[in-house]
Amino acid sequence: MGSTPRGPTLGRMRIDLHTHSTASDGTQDPGVLVAAAAGAGLDVVALTDHDTTRGWDEAGAAALERGIGLVRGMEISCQRDHRSVHLLAYLFDPDDADLLGEIEHARSSRLTRMDRMVERMAADGIPITIDQVRAQVAAGATLGRPHLADALVASGQVPDRTTAFRDLLHNESPYYVSHYAVDPVRAVRLVRAAGGVPVLAHPFTVTRGRALDVDVVEEMVAAGLGGIEVHHRDHDAAGRALAQDLADAHDLIVTGSSDYHGEGKPNRLGEHTTDPAQLARIVEQGSGSAAIGL
C-alpha cells in the first residue's frame, strides 16, 4: 500500500471517483459495490456516501480482496442561500471532531426533515408512514429522499425512484423539506483541516433546480477547494465547459465519475472517469487517510 499510483499502469487505469452504497442511498452494500466496480473493469473506485464514512471498512476489505484501488471519500451536503451544494471529500481523517460534528448535525436534521416530508404527504392523502420509510434504510445509514422514494415504490404508488422524484420529491415539490447543511465554504475548510481533498461535485447540474453561482465557487476556491467534477451526466455541454474553465483558471483537479447509486439510478459505473494524473494529485494532497491498493 503506497501513496502514489503505480507508474507503469497509470495510462491505462480506469478511475471512477463518486459512488454511493447502502451506507447512504445506494442500493448495494459497500463490498458488493466494490466487487461490481472490479467487475465493470475499473482499476480504482471511490466510495463517497452522503455524510458518512461507515462504508469505508467493508469497502476497504473488498478492495484488497478484489485487487482494486479504493479512494475513501464522502459527499457532504452543503447549503448556501437555500441552494444545495454537494462537496466530495477524499482521504480525510474520518475521526476529525469538527468535520464529524457537522456531519452528525446534518444526519440528525435529516431524521426530523423526513418526518415532516411524510407528514406533508399524508396530510395531502398520500398514504405513507415513517415506519415504511425506515424499513428501506440499512441500520445507521444516512437517511435521504431516495429511501422515501423506495417506500413509495414498495407500497406500489410509483414504479421507480425516477418517477418518485419527478412527480413528488423534487426540490420544488410542496412535499420537499430541506435539512440542516453546512455552508460550502466552511465545508471546504473543514475537509482541508482534516487532511482531505475537497472537490466540488456536479456544480452545474441541469436536473436540480437553479445552478450554482460562480461567485460561490470562487469563494470555495479561496477557502482551499482542490478540485471540480467536470464530467458528470447531470452536466450539459455548457455546464461542463464552465466547470472546465474554472478548473483551468484556478488550477483545480478535474474529475469525472458516475455518481453510481446501484439500481436506484440509471447511472452506470465508469460511465465517466477521471484521468490518472488527476487522481495522482488527489493522492498527493490527501493526508488524513490512505488510499487502498494504490
Q: How far is the CB of 205 from Zn ion (least distance, A)?
A: 12
Q: Which is nearer to ligand AMP, 27 or 273 (CB)?
A: 27
Choose the one of Zn ion, ligand AMP, Fe ion, none that binds residue 293, judging by a C-beta under 5 to 8 angstroms depending on kind: none
Among 16, 21, 22, 25, binds ligand AMP (CB under 6 A): 25
The 3-state secondary structure of 82-127, one letter per residue: CEEEEEEEECCCCCCHHHHHHHHHHHHHHHHHHHHHHHHHHHCCCC
Choose the one of Fe ion, Zn ion, ligand AMP, none that binds residue 150, judging by a C-beta under 5 to 8 angstroms depending on kind: none
Site for ligand AMP in 156-195 (CB under 6 A): 161-162, 165
Encoded one letter per residue, x for contact with Fe ion by CB under 5 A and - for no contact, window 51-90 reads ------------------------x----------x----
Contact predicate 85/228, CB 8 Å: no
Contact predicate 16/279, CB 8 Å: no
The C-alpha atoms of residue 7 and residue 195 are separated, in whole angstroms, by 24
Choose the one of Fe ion, ligand AMP, Zn ion, none that binds residue 276, judging by a C-beta under 5 to 8 angstroms depending on kind: none
Encoded one letter per residue, x for contact with Zn ion by CB under 5 A and - for no contact, window 13-52 reads -------x----x---------------------------
The C-alpha atoms of residue 60 and residue 291 are separated, in whole angstroms, by 9
Q: How far is the CB of 153 from ligand AMP (least distance, A)?
A: 11
User: Shortest Cβ contact with Fe ion: which residue?
Assistant: 86
Q: Which is nearer to Fe ion, 87 or 190 (CB)?
A: 87
Contact predicate 45/70, CB 8 Å: yes
Q: Which is nearer to ligand AMP, 21 or 43 (CB)?
A: 21
- Contacts of residue 75, defined as CB under 8 A and 6 or more positions apart, other chains included, come to 18, 20, 24, 48, 49, 50, 51, 86, 87, 88, 89, 201
Contact between 9 and ligand AMP by CB under 6 A: the answer reads: no
Contact between 96 and ligand AMP by CB under 6 A: the answer reads: no
Site for ligand AMP in 133-162 (CB under 6 A): 144-146, 161-162
Choose the one of Fe ion, Zn ion, ligand AMP, none that binds residue 13, judging by a C-beta under 5 to 8 angstroms depending on kind: none
CA angle 111, 229, 253 (to 5 degrees): 125
DSSP class of residue 176 equals -
Choose the one of Fe ion, Zn ion, ligand AMP, none that binds residue 107, judging by a C-beta under 5 to 8 angstroms depending on kind: none
The owner of cell 459527499 is: 75
Closest by CA position to 233, among listed 260, 264, 212: 260
**C-beta neighbour count of 285 within 10 angstroms:** 17
Contact between 202 and ligand AMP by CB under 6 A: the answer reads: no
Q: Which is nearer to Fe ion, 20 or 128 (CB)?
A: 20
Strand ranges (DSSP E) for the chain?
Answer: 15-16, 44-47, 69-80, 83-90, 197-200, 227-231, 253-256
Q: How far is the CB of 283 from ligand AMP (least distance, A)?
A: 25
